[in-house]
Amino acid sequence: MKGRLIVAAVAIAAVLALGGGTIYIYFFSGLRSSPTALGLSSPSPATSASATPSAASTGLAGSWEVTTGSLAGYRVKELFAGESTKHEAVARTSTVSGGLTVSGDATSGYQVTSITITVNLSDLHSVDTVVGRNVSQRDGIVDRQLEVQQFPTATFTSSSVSIPGPVSGQQVSVSMPGMLTIHGVGKAVTVTAKAQLNGDRIEIAGSVAATMADFGVSPPFAPFVTVDSGVTIEFDIFLTRG
């Protein structure tokens, strides 16, 4: 009798475990949506008519500060149990600050002599969805892995970037070598981006590939989910004259 009770208890536990996994997969797999990568926006018709002549005549030289509309975040691949296709997890924040200094002119070309962009990691929020639900529960796990209470920001700095003179509606490619610091660890990276004049603002959008281990961070762990170590950091930054 006792042996049959033990067998029954084990069987019930197995069914519950299987049921729990099935419920998890049902709610957190299948219908998914991730936003496209951040990129340059369409120039605003409302501002280009009045702002473009001024920007073209005065040039880009001077100090520029990060302003509203800026976004930064990450995207990483995760695999749910019972599936063969990876889902792209995406989180973003609009809490971005910093600026840059530009010298030169449109004829000889521009040189960025100082770039500092700081992102508040504690304000990162998941923007991808699973079965129509925001997967914000991931954010708490990411916060713990990044130890945001101790390392609340990520910073990119660069001191030498060449930029052709963009005019409103024209996009130019930019390569920005610099130092990316996350989790208190700095790493030399090269950011690939595009820039344009959008009305009276400079807009720069791009990305850089990294590995969590480069910054002393382990991939987030959660039951039924495996997360890749590789991560893409992306941004769309707007700047106004300081």
According to the model, what pLDDT value does residue 91 have?
94
Does the pLDDT of residue 210 top 90, yes or no?
A: yes
- Residue 173 CA, chain-centre distance (Å), reads 19
Does the pLDDT of residue 27 top 80, yes or no?
A: no
- Domain boundaries, given as residue ranges, for the chain: 1-30, 32-241
The mean predicted confidence, pLDDT, of the chain is 81
Those residues whose C-beta lies under 8 Å from the C-beta of residue 134, and which sit 6 or more positions away, are 126, 127
Residue range 132-154, pLDDT digits in tens: 455 777 888 899 999 999 999 99
Pairing of the two strands 32-33 and 129-130:
antiparallel
Highest mean pLDDT among 18-32, 60-74, 79-93, 116-130: 60-74
Residue 145 neighbours by CB distance under 10 Å: 16
CATH assignment of 32-241, given 2.120.10.80, 2.40.128.110, 1.10.287.1770, 2.102.10.10? 2.40.128.110
